[in-house]
Structure 1
């Protein structure tokens, strides 16, 4: 994860490939445990842990919002990559919970970072948003449209949950994760491939009426948990196989699975499919709950910063969310 970049004279712009040079994360200060929820809902720590693997979640309060969390994560990623905000060409934010319909979270972060150049926009693909945003940033770098891009996943799902519905409100948390992508990866390094899918016919299995911050009446997440779980197992397995087969790899070649953190049973199922032991799977769902588009970059940030994920490691990411949308990505640091 070094920062040296080839000059245009050494590598033609259209031959640029993306590499990940920095990670960062941000979590709200307030922690809400399962026992806290049990004080006002007909639930228990055992009920939640058994079905989901979740023990606690971070909930935004006060001045914490999508922009503040995304900005904090971006600043951490910039510091880790040892680049300045002025070096960034674009900001792409994956979120389903923006503070405003517009301007986008991305341009608010751009302003907060003091950037006076470049561009920014948001991507909405629910829990798959970070994979979609990574794929978009990678395509822009490969085409030569940008050389450095911050990709952020951020969610404040706490502000659109029905806190009387134990089937949904116990599942989600707030947070943000970010990565810096730069041109200059050598063959076999950086983002090797991304794979995106959607099936709008399944949109009513997981959706939200209205939008955060809008006076639209019943703004709350609705989910058919049993059906979402069933489709997650099928589609994520296919996306994982697709990524590995394209690169001529198998589960033995993967050092780390960094999955979307929705449900521990789904994560365990993907690990078993790849024949990966638990110590090679990054799990944060127990402490973060489902932070949707933020969950993969938050997990990646944690595992890179604590030294588990190292340079040259092959990382497989996968996610499924409302839409239904799903996808996978292979990255070698």
Structure 2
């Protein structure tokens, strides 16, 4: 049993925060942000917009493109680090869609979440367990940013992207490679910090909160420009393909300098590297489907095009997958 990617959708909150607007409350400037990241503005959810809201919008668009009814879904996988409910938000999306026959669960691999989710979902189809799967990558990192820290607050935006995976006679997932290294976790995290609370003289429990995102930008940059080309090459090897046979590269939209460095190392023509970073920023697990959706809807990505996707981020985690668009 093989699989095909038959639909895609994306959604982002309406409010957009420009670099100039950001400079009104943090010590930065449009030139400083653009030159270091390539970001011009980003979409931010207000207090009344939930992750479930934008995920459902992206999912509905993907289902429509695939010609699939929510009741036909067997599984919903939500890749996110920022659920509305710490117990998970996939079931809320299932209810919002009316996908009453679908199993639903969250998975977390930070900015690598979409790639890890793609590979995970594929195994349910390849083993014949399920036929129709909705994979969503969505994050609202604005909830967890320190808006006084110009090293991190300039980077992140909110968004959601979704794809439909369906059983297919020909397997369109050609190869993948996933990696993790927990020894580098301290370079990028959103950590829980416990404070002791005494229940009795003998028993104390941890009661605390999550701190805002912390990141060592230089180390993350070094990690990405070294490991991402490697993992793409390994995925290509597993697919039996060469770099020049790939039609489109969609890397996690973290920093334009990282995208450029990876493309240079692999000798990828710039026109093959899809980027929407300038107007969305880093949307974590949403970034790959959010960027790909625009190209598909513009008609630039066609049926049979070979696409390489690569995610990298907190964990640290990184991975790549090679697939062909459509049946």
User: Do both share a fold (TM > 0.5)?
Assistant: yes
Shift of 1:164: 0.1
Shift of 1:274: 3.0
State the TM-score, normalized to the length of structure 1.
0.91
Shift of 1:160: 0.5
Corresponding residue of 1:251: 243
Which of 189, 200, 203 is the equivalent residue of 1:207? 189
Unaligned residue ranges in structure 2 (runs of 5+): 194-206
Q: Does the CA-based 8 Å contact 1:250-1:274 persist in structure 2?
A: no
1:220 is paired with a residue of what secondary structure?
coil
- State the Cα deviation string for residues 102-146 of structure 1 (Å, max 9, x = none): 1x2111100001122120111101100000100000011001111
Q: Does the CA-based 8 Å contact 2:82-2:139 persist in structure 1?
A: yes
Corresponding residue of 2:200: none
Corresponding residue of 1:80: 65
Residue correspondence of structure 1 range 262-281 to structure 2 within 5 A: 262-281=254-273
Q: Does 1:330 align with 2:318?
A: no
Corresponding residue of 1:158: 142
Corresponding residue of 1:147: 131
In the alignment of these two chains, the number of paired residues is 312
Corresponding residue of 2:76: 91
CA distance in 1, matches of 2:267, 2:225: 16
Residue correspondence of structure 1 range 208-247 to structure 2 within 5 A: 208-210=190-192, 216-217=208-209, 219-247=211-239
**Range moving further from structure 2, 164-173 or 236-245:** 236-245
CA distance in 1, matches of 2:257, 2:232: 16
Q: Does the CA-based 8 Å contact 1:110-1:120 persist in structure 2?
A: yes
- State the Cα deviation string for residues 179-221 of structure 1 (Å, max 9, x = none): 00000141xx51112211101111111000239xxx8445200
Corresponding residue of 2:163: 179
Shift of 1:247: 2.1
State the TM-score, normalized to the length of structure 2.
0.93
Corresponding residue of 1:9: none
TM-aligned CA distance change 1:48 to 1:25, over 3 Å: same
CA distance in 1, matches of 2:181, 2:57: 33
Corresponding residue of 1:10: none
Which of 35, 42, 66 is the equivalent residue of 1:57? 42
Shift of 1:272: 2.0
Q: Does the CA-based 8 Å contact 2:80-2:110 persist in structure 1?
A: yes
Shift of 1:26: 0.3
- Aligned-CA RMSD value: 1.3
CA distance in 2, matches of 1:183, 1:269: 36
Shift of 1:273: 2.8
Shift of 1:319: 1.1
1:98 is paired with a residue of what secondary structure?
coil
Shift of 1:64: 1.1
CA distance in 1, matches of 2:117, 2:149: 31
CA distance in 2, matches of 1:72, 1:307: 21
CA distance in 2, matches of 1:240, 1:88: 30
CA distance in 1, matches of 2:187, 2:307: 29
CA distance in 1, matches of 2:139, 2:256: 20
**Range moving further from structure 2, 57-66 or 87-96:** 57-66
- State the Cα deviation string for residues 55-84 of structure 1 (Å, max 9, x = none): 000000142111111111000100111110
